[in-house]
């Protein structure tokens, strides 16, 4: 079949006729390690200019691939980048209130119409204007040529980096979306591209030694055999955030048509789901220096990927599209992401029925999708117990979705391991709304084996979205409710716990214990 060489030549027929229209315009990523090199000089020059003006703090407003790649690049480089990828008003306010005088903001949206990013941009524009600062001196835009954001930013006089339109968002790590914020923050983006370039030749070879073919074949063949979870561990904590980036790449690319690979990011090699594992899991590690041989897999499937960061990114992108070809899906579309966006927009516009609570338990109001929660349940502990009791113990998984401030409430992520140990099933943890641009596609388009626990809260204080008829909190709740409605329409069990305030989060943690 010569898959690798045909992919390197951008052959859009590799995923079948139904995928050809989309894949024909989504293969620019295969040679970005070469074609993106001219960007380095322009980004470095802008960084020097900004530093000369004392603008040393970089904030990135973006979602999905637009934010996750820069987060891992800067984390690996040890440079500071504040990623604003939330609609939570407390989170947004904390970002804006922090050192505005030295802040430059990168507004990053491929489509140019991402509501979260548009809202964040509006909030920063107002903050700059209120402080007597010209937003044109502080805002840098990254978008596709001709997008609505390109047009509005041009009219406003912002600096604009126009990205390669032949690259989809989750494959955009080595485009302007990944390089501009990372380079402005101080990462060596030239070295990152060189790392990717060092492996590009190997990935183009039609050889059994091709690492992209080997990894993609492992994921795809295991999936066909019913081993459809990929549990990932960061070897020696080499690349903080890489798991989240790989998660959105794999889940959003493969989770459709009732198929897909579910990435499960674990805290360590001794964490539940990795040790012990289950029979439907491939175990994987990424990063230098850790041998996989000392870990036993219950399924018999395991892999360790040892490479530099730039090479890792290109390798996993290749592997993901190889896996897609094997399991028979189009890895470049995301048909179910838009459904949640549409549901949220409908709620904000006053359309659609507002959910009715099932009961209240102290400071927690409980909502449940139809058809699974017993009428006699009247407390949070019993509701959680019944949700987890519905798990398929051969292939089921639990998705915890926290629509909260992911910095202030970071300790909540510990419940992933707690639930995994109690259920002996794979458990994922996602911060809303960022996971909607990641595993959100898998939840709705992948196998119907998940149960979903949403956690929402009133904020400490709401925040208006300038020149919009909704607040950040109203938008965030619409996103949670909208996604829950789409999941419910697909027959997925959804339990939502809504807190009177973030101060009551410990009550949820205790219930989950």
The answer to whether residue 17 sits within a structural domain is no
The answer to whether residue 249 sits within a structural domain is yes
DSSP, residue by residue, 238-267: -STTHHHHHHHHHHHHH-BTTB--EEEE-S
The answer to whether residue 256 sits within a structural domain is yes
Of 432, 402, 349, 338, nearest in space to 113 by CA: 338
Residue 293 — pLDDT band, cuts 50, 70, 90? Answer: low
Q: Do 176 and 211 reside in the same domain of the chain? A: no
Q: Do 37 and 180 reside in the same domain of the chain? A: yes
Residue 439 domain boundaries: 337-512
Residue 295 — pLDDT band, cuts 50, 70, 90? Answer: low
Q: Do 415 and 484 reside in the same domain of the chain? A: yes
pLDDT at position 352 is 67
The answer to whether residue 3 sits within a structural domain is no
Q: Do 361 and 465 reside in the same domain of the chain? A: yes
Token output for 111: 């489509």
* CA-to-CA separations, 468 to 8, 122, 464, in angstroms, rounded: 45, 9, 8
pLDDT above 70: residue 294: no
For 210, how many CA atoms within 13 A lie in the half-sphere containing its CB? 24
Q: Considering its fold, how many domains does the chain have in total?
A: 3
The answer to whether residue 7 sits within a structural domain is no
**Can you tell me the mean pLDDT for 290-299?**
66
Q: What is the pLDDT of residues 62-82, one digit of tens each?
A: 998 889 999 999 999 999 999
SS3 at position 284:
strand
Q: Do 34 and 172 reside in the same domain of the chain? A: yes
Q: Do 342 and 459 reside in the same domain of the chain? A: yes
Domain's final residue, options 327, 350, 370: 327
Residue 340 — pLDDT band, cuts 50, 70, 90? Answer: confident
* CA-to-CA separations, 274 to 157, 193, 296, 304, 446, in angstroms, rounded: 50, 32, 9, 13, 22
Domain's final residue, options 327, 358, 380: 327
The answer to whether residue 5 sits within a structural domain is no
Q: Do 224 and 260 reside in the same domain of the chain? A: yes
Domain's final residue, options 280, 295, 327: 327
pLDDT at position 287 is 83
Mean pLDDT of the chain: 95
Alpha-carbon span 83 to 38, nearest angstrom: 25
Strand partners, 497: 366, 455
Q: Do 48 and 165 reside in the same domain of the chain? A: yes
As a whole-number percent, the residues of the chain with pLDDT over 90 amount to 88
The answer to whether residue 10 sits within a structural domain is no
Q: Do 280 and 351 reside in the same domain of the chain? A: no
CB–CB of 486/352 below 8 Å? Answer: no
Q: Do 225 and 256 reside in the same domain of the chain? A: yes
Q: Do 125 and 174 reside in the same domain of the chain? A: yes
pLDDT above 90: residue 229: yes
pLDDT above 80: residue 296: no
Token output for 123: 């909030």
Q: Do 355 and 482 reside in the same domain of the chain? A: yes
Say which residue, 262 or 111, is predicted with more confidence. 262
The answer to whether residue 52 sits within a structural domain is yes
C-alpha dihedral, 63 to 66 to 72 to 78, nearest 10°: -100
**Can you tell me the mean pLDDT for 481-496?**
96
SS3 at position 355:
coil
C-alpha dihedral, 283 to 318 to 290 to 192, nearest 10°: -140
User: Looking at residue 496, which CATH number applies to its domain?
Assistant: 3.40.50.10490
Q: What is the pLDDT of residues 366-400, one digit of tens each?
A: 999 999 999 999 999 999 999 999 999 999 999 99
For 509, how many CA atoms within 13 A lie in the half-sphere containing its CB? 13
As a whole-number percent, the residues of the chain with pLDDT over 70 amount to 98
Q: What is the pLDDT of residues 107-146, one digit of tens each?
A: 999 999 999 999 999 999 999 999 999 999 999 999 999 9
């Amino acid at each position: 079949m010569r898959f690798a060489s045909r992919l390197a030549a951008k052959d859009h027929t590799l995923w079948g006729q139904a995928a050809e229209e989309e894949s024909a315009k989504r293969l620019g990523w295969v040679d970005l390690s070469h074609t993106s090199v001219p960007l380095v000089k322009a980004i470095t020059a802008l960084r020097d200019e900004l530093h000369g003006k004392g603008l040393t703090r970089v904030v990135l407003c973006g979602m999905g691939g637009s934010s996750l790649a820069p987060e891992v690049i800067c984390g690996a480089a040890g440079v500071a980048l504040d990623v604003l990828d939330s609609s939570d008003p407390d989170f947004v306010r904390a970002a804006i209130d922090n050192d505005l005088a030295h802040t430059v903001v990168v507004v990053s949206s491929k489509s140019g119409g991402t509501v979260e990013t548009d809202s964040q941009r509006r909030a920063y524009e107002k903050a700059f204007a209120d402080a007597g600062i010209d937003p044109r001196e502080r805002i840098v835009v990254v978008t596709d040529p001709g997008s609505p954001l390109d047009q509005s930013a041009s009219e406003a006089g912002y600096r604009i980096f126009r990205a390669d339109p032949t690259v989809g968002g989750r494959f955009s790590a080595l485009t302007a979306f990944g390089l501009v914020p990372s380079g402005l923050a101080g990462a060596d983006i030239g070295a990152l591209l060189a790392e990717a370039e060092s492996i590009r030749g190997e990935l183009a070879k039609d050889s059994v030694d091709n690492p992209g073919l080997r990894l993609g074949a492992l994921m795809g063949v295991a999936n066909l055999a019913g081993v459809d979870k990929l549990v990932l561990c960061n070897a020696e904590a080499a690349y903080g955030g890489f798991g989240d980036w790989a998660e959105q790449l794999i889940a959003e690319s493969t989770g459709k048509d009732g198929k897909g690979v579910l990435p499960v990011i674990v805290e360590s090699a001794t964490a539940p789901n990795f040790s012990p594992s289950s029979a439907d899991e491939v175990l994987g590690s990424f990063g230098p220096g850790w041998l996989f041989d000392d870990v036993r897999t219950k399924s018999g499937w395991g892999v360790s990927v040892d490479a530099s960061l730039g090479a890792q990114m290109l390798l996993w992108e290749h592997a993901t599209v190889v896996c897609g070809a094997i399991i028979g899906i189009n890895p470049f579309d995301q048909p179910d992401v838009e459904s949640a966006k549409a549901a949220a927009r409908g709620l904000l516009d006053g359309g659609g029925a507002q959910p009715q609570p099932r009961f209240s338990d102290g400071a927690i109001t409980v909502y449940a999708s139809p058809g699974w929660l017993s009428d006699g349940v009247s407390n949070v502990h019993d509701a959680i117990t019944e949700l987890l009791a519905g798990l398929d113990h051969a292939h089921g998984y639990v998705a915890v979705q926290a629509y909260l401030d992911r910095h202030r409430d970071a300790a909540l992520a510990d419940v992933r391991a707690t639930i995994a140990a109690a259920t002996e099933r794979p458990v994922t943890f996602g911060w809303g709304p960022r996971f909607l641009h990641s595993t959100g596609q898998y939840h709705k388009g992948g196998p119907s084996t998940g149960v979903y626990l949403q956690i929402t809260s009133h904020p400490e204080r709401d925040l208006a979205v300038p020149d919009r008829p909704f607040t950040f909190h109203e938008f965030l709740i619409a996103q949670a409710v909208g996604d829950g409605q789409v999941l419910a329409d697909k027959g997925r069990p959804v339990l939502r716990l809504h807190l009177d305030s973030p101060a009551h989060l410990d009550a949820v943690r205790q219930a989950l214990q």
